[in-house]
Structure 1
């Protein structure tokens, strides 16, 4: 039978526990395209898709803490269902140190239809998470639409200081000059920039409604986000920090 003295001696004779090794956590910023049939998945499904891609290419993600740990994968802005994105951003926190070129190659090797990897940046230690500054969109103009009517609608909207939209059955007021810094008519598209704000931000469909063109989508118009501008972006000439995919 063990005595209290025996238990004490046994405890004091054990080798002191070694300090836990710090877990590696490196953030990578990936720019990608989401197009073709992939535009018909929701933002939540897109997040799940990225989790599957990370598993399929055998990356070692940094995991959240708690009872249900998940890979640390973040997006500065959700893309609406049905909208193509040609310059989207996702951030991956990995528990392994890869060069941007190796990570780009492994992500691209998954060959997910509709998902194209454009660039990979290995962010410096302490870098803040990506924050959206503004988004640029193109909206195709349905055939037969009166261009003079479009120009008049644009001019009338630009003359307004503020506009009101409904969001979750509540009115939201937006400042036109601040939240719509660009709205121009091109040969076949509307070119639109929408600024991110602390309040509810406008969406392309909101602008179409404000212009009086609610029926454009029903009449075959398509929306694409062509640029995601961040508050603080990161590019470098150093291949150990940034690499862009080769274009064919």
Structure 2
């Protein structure tokens, strides 16, 4: 049985790393007595997957974790048991069985950015940016630096009241990051930034996903 949980990672927990999030889930799964399958080899690990890690400091209100279980348990019972073992800022919001075809892949991510946006980020500035086919950014990689076409990963950018909405998609070269998009529009994300970034949706491309 494969089960997909959607959850929220909010409040102070937005400051824990993805590695710490994995460990937190592992402990909660053990305490909830969920019969998760383990990998083979000298260092067996629980068979769980996150389609796309959430960056440090970013809230997620519709995140995904998928587990492979050794036997059937009602999704509602799994949700209840796991939720009881997690801290208040890590909330399970749904559980559904999925086709056992391996981890799902991301089709699109949606972000909402709120706070003290630069006055230079206007609809005209956004339209000008989106009309271009390329916007190269230099990324630090293991073994050197590499250029990435930021524009190819951006589905849309919109201003909604005082918030910036981003829809991003993966490409063969990688995925755009919200801070890179802000930088391209003329706003730097410093350590003293008051901007709040929330990932509001994770859309999956697996055949059993409706999004």
Report the counterpart of residue 119 of structure 1 in structure 2.
94
State the match for 1:156 in structure 2.
128
Partner of 2:168: 194
Distance 1:72 1:142, change over 3 A: same
Q: CA 1:111 to 1:51, structure 2 compared with 1: closer, same or farther past 3 Å?
A: closer
> Which residue of structure 1 aligns with residue 146 of structure 2?
171
Change (3 A) 1:93 1:183: same
2:84 is aligned with 1:99: no
- 2:8 maps to which of 33, 51, 61: 33
CA distance in structure 1 between the partners assigned to 2:75 and 2:11 by the alignment: 26
Q: Structure 1 196/96 Cα, relative in aligned 2: closer, same or farther at 3 Å?
A: same
The two structures have a TM-score, normalised by structure 1, of 0.78
Which residue pairs with 2:206 in the alignment? Answer: 232
TM-score normalised per structure 2: 0.90
Query: What corresponds to 1:51 in structure 2?
Result: 26
Is contact 1:121-1:234 (8 Å) kept?
A: no
Name which one, 1 or 2, has greater alpha-carbon Rg: 1
Query: What is the aligned length?
Result: 207
Return the offset for 1:218: 3.0
| 3-state SS in 2 of match to 1:162 | coil
For the 8 Å contact 1:172–1:200, the answer to whether it is kept is no
- Cα offset, 1:166, TM superposition: 1.8
Q: Is the 8 A contact 2:16 2:56 kept in 1?
A: yes
> Which sits farther off after the overlay, 76-85 or 150-159?
150-159
Point out where structure 1 has 5 or more consecutive residues left out of the alignment: 1-25, 237-248
Q: CA deviation at 1:235?
A: 6.3
Distance 1:235 1:159 in 2: 31
Residues 25-60 of structure 1, C-alpha deviations (whole Å, 9 max, x = no match): x21111100000110011111111110110111112
Greater share of strand? 2
User: In 2, are the aligned partners of 1:162 and 1:175 still within 8 Å (CA)?
Assistant: yes
- Structure 2: 5+ residue runs without aligned partners? none
Question: Does the 8 Å contact 2:137/2:150 carry over to 1?
Answer: no
Distance (whole Å) between structure 1 residues aligned to residue 132 and residue 78 of structure 2: 47
| CA distance in 2: counterparts of 1:191 and 1:172, whole angstroms | 25
Q: Which of 173, 176, 180 is the equivalent residue of 1:206?
A: 180
Work out the CA distance in 2 between the residues paired with 1:53 and 1:82.
22
Give 1:128 deviation, angstroms: 3.5
Q: Residue 68 of structure 1 corresponds to which residue in structure 2?
A: 43
Matches of 2:25 and 2:86, distance apart in 1: 12
Label 1:215 to 1:131 Cα distance change in 2 as closer, same or farther (>3 A). Answer: closer
Residue of structure 2 equivalent to 1:223: 197
SS at match of 2:135: strand
